[in-house]
Amino acid sequence: MILHLAFLGLGASDWSALGQMLVGVASIAGGLWAIRLFRESRRLEVAKWLDGIFRDFYVDENFADIRWLLAYRTFVGEIAPLLDRTTKQPADVLNPDATQILHRLDRLLNYFEHVLYLESEGYVPAKAREAFFGYWFELMKSEAYLPLRHYIATYGYEHLDRFLSNPRKQR
């Protein structure tokens, strides 16, 4: 059987137009598929970031001791007076234990700074930050943690200071 270009009553120009239309539809479908794959890969990337943030803070031992010091009565009795002294007289020579506590606290505050920066750049969703760190940020906003907020403001933790001063703008 011989196929003719006049198949279905279409001429050569009709077939050419139909071919161009099919290429256009295929291009659109390919573009939509690429967008879908990009979104999925972006979601996977965010999930990996969030997993790393969670592991760094809660699973690894990096912050275990300072979390404990901040979360319990130890803060009011030991840490708050140290922070008061440090912000009022920064040139004071501290004993090695106090220096070590401040070093660990600075590491934790830098971590929170980093999380808030990543949120401001769109890498960490506010919902995830709230889920992982809501307790800690609420704790730092409480009246008992005023010495910590002064320390944060004094020593240049800009993202954290801004967030704790006006959290509504960050959401």
Pair 56, 62: CB distance under 8 Å: yes
Q: Sign (positive/negative) of CA torsion 142, 147, 150, 156? A: negative
Position 3 scores a pLDDT of 53
| Of the listed ranges 21-25, 52-56, 115-119, 166-170, the one predicted with least confidence | 166-170
| Length of the chain (residues) | 171
In angstroms, the CA 41 to CA 50 distance is 14
Q: What is the value of pTM for the model shown?
A: 0.72
pLDDT at residue 4 is higher than 70: no
- Stretch 52-76: mean pLDDT: 84
- Stretch 112-118: mean pLDDT: 94
Q: What is the pLDDT of residues 125-161, one digit of tens each?
A: 899 999 999 999 999 999 989 999 999 999 999 999 9
> Residue written as tokens 């307790």?
135
